[in-house]
Structure 1
């Protein structure tokens, strides 16, 4: 694993944690940041999680050759 892959995996984990937190906030009924902001964070963090993970895997595969 390269430092770039590690940072991308870290970003993927952070965005996944943000998504889970948003789900819990929205399910509580009273999100601290408001429903609109929390929903926007949720909708942004889901594709970012997948994107960061995919880029990290691609970088690792490229450096294995």
Structure 2
């Protein structure tokens, strides 16, 4: 039984992308000279952490809602 819908798949993809952005930001900040600057990279990191969790939570919630149908 397939419970993933296009909507939950999109949310899961957004979660993956924001997680990758967060990990990349950590590497950039620890390198000493971020390509986008320290402030911009820190903002990306600060936004990517809650967005990753939010998108993942919404994807799981949507998949669970479709499981009961």
Q: What TM-score, normalized to structure 2? A: 0.93
| Larger helix fraction of residues | 1
Cross-structure match for 1:38: 41
Q: Which has the larger radius of gyration?
A: 2
Instruction: Say what the alpha-carbon RMSD is for the aligned residues.
Output: 0.3
Structure 1 stretches of 4+ with a deviation exceeding 4 A read none
Q: 5+ residue gaps in structure 2? A: none
Deviations for 1:16-60, whole angstroms, at most 9, x for unmatched residues?
A: 000000000000000010000000000000000000000000000
Q: How many residues align?
A: 65
Q: What TM-score, normalized to structure 1? A: 0.99
Q: 5+ residue gaps in structure 1? A: none
